[in-house]
Amino acid sequence: MLNGKRIALIIGGGIAAFKVPEMIRALRAEGCAVTPIVTKAGAEFVTPLTLSVVAGEPAHQDLFDVSREAEIGHIQMSRNADLLVVVPATADLMAKMAQGLANDLASTLLLATDKPVLIAPAMNVRMWDHPATQRNIRQLQADGVRFVGPVEGPMACGEFGEGRMSDPAEIIAAIRAALTEGPLSGRHIVVTSGPTHEPIDPVRYIANRSSGAQGTALACALRDLGAQITFVTGPASVPPPAGVKVVRVETARQMQTAVQEALPADAAVCAAAVADWHVLNAGQQKMKKDGTGRAPALEFGENPDILAQVSQMPEGRPALVVGFAAETEKVMEHATVKRARKGCDWIVANDVSPATGIMGGSENAVTIIDAQGPETWPRLAKEEVARRLAQRIASALTTKE
């Protein structure tokens, strides 16, 4: 897939830079040419000589290289690549990009390029959460910069949280997606997936049997058609897809906030099995038996209706909103009513009664209900359902142009 492609790979100054040589080797194994550009800080973690050897071509550092600048080398370098990739993208580099600064070779290339840019952020969790960084993220997303990661995990500084760089395999998957000229290239799609967990107390919760497999497969299929995906997932049992921005949540209210923050988008696909209710009187400590034989009385409040809120946005509504209806009886009747009530464009209806084995299984049998009526598909592997649905979404978005 990458044969004949050329990447300008900018290496920022973070400890995660030690993973870059491994990534360069993998890219070259797929037939991709890699031009390393290392920042002054990046060279403290991985040497230009190492980068040159693994890339098979010189690593560049200096903006004022007389031999290259006689031919305006930084301009040519930024235009000759099919994609600019920043790994790791530090808070400093992201700030420069967001502000349009160009005071070294890396930032100048990023400002001078007319090609797509993909970044893999890596930084301390506090730096990632800082309002300035979050403001820069929003600006870069508005500028069309693609993100892969960061992910949650342990960090070199000893802390734990979001800010850890994605693994090289995930970054390479994102590179493949960015270089795929699919029908969804340049589109941003929000996909929700998995169950939500609604706490009863600090150790117990209310949940459902959703594995997140269908939402994950759909995110992969949309990614492979060239879309930029924000994947908002509850605590699913299947791992999230590579090459997409993953936002992990637990509760329905957290998912609502994450979806709102992910917008605007060209399409929203609400595949998550969101709990209808949350516990109003959830215990702050573990609830104990009191010897009376009576269970504690739980009071419930209705969770936000994410699908309806996105469907009925007065401004900035995605061009296409797709919901899912997992039913155990009167599937078509309930799904048709749900589509009308929530105001979404399509409903993907399926029967998840225990006898079907669909909830948590590897197959699905769905009916797509839209303004023209129902379209029933045969029982298929969830990956095939996702592929067909992604193609249908791509066709609908193209038609709406």
Query: Would you say residue 365 has pLDDT above 60?
Result: yes
Which residue type is seen at 92? D
Q: How confident is the model at residue 4 (pLDDT cuts 50, 70, 90)?
A: confident
157 carries an active-site annotation:
yes
Q: Which residues are annotated as a binding site for CTP?
A: 276, 286, 304-307, 324, 338, 342
Query: Would you say residue 349 has pLDDT above 70?
Result: yes
Which residues are registered as beta bridge partners of 376? 367
Enter the tokens of residue 321: 């909103």
Q: What is the pLDDT of residue 174?
A: 83
Q: What is the pLDDT of residue 66?
A: 42
Q: What is the pLDDT of residue 372?
A: 92
Q: How far apart are CA 279 and CA 24, in angstroms?
A: 49
Hey, CA dihedral for 149, 150, 156, 158, is it positive or negative?
Answer: negative
Note the residue count of the chain.
401
Q: Strand pairing of 300-302 and 277-279?
A: antiparallel
Q: Is the peptide bond before 150 cis (omega within 30 degrees of 0)?
A: yes
Which residue type is seen at 45? F
Q: Is residue 351 helix, strand or coil? A: strand
Instruction: Give the whole-number percent of the chain exceeding pLDDT 90.
Output: 54
Which residue type is seen at 41? A
List the domains of the chain with CATH numbers: 6-178 (3.40.50.1950), 188-282+290-399 (3.40.50.10300)
Q: How far apart are CA 122 and CA 117, in angstroms?
A: 16
Q: What is the pLDDT of residue 70?
A: 45
pTM of the model: 0.63
Q: Strand pairing of 117-121 and 83-89?
A: parallel
E strands present in 148-273: 151-154, 160-164, 188-193, 198-201, 204-206, 228-233, 245-248, 267-270
Rg of the Cα atoms in the chain = 23
Enter the tokens of residue 123: 């930084």
CA-CA-CA-CA dihedral for 211, 213, 170, 259, to nearest 10:
-80
Please identify which of the residues 157, 220, 270, 344 carries the catalytic annotation: 157
Q: How confident is the model at residue 39 (pLDDT cuts 50, 70, 90)?
A: very high
Taking only the tens place, the pLDDT of each residue in 179-206 is: 876 789 889 999 999 999 999 999 999 9
The pair phi, psi for residue 373, each rounded to 5°, is: 120, -165
Q: What is the pLDDT of residue 95?
A: 94
Q: What is the pLDDT of residue 145?
A: 84
Taking only the tens place, the pLDDT of each residue in 128-158 is: 989 999 889 888 877 778 888 887 777 776 7
Q: Which of 14, 66, 240 is nearest to 149 (CA)?
A: 240
Enter the tokens of residue 11: 């290496």
Q: Which three-class secondary structure string do you get for 288-321?
A: CCCCCCCCCCCCEEECCCHHHHHHCCCCCCCCEE
What does the pLDDT average to over 230-251?
90
Q: What is the pLDDT of residue 159?
A: 76
Taking only the tens place, the pLDDT of each residue in 48-85 is: 999 999 999 998 988 766 455 444 455 677 778 889 99
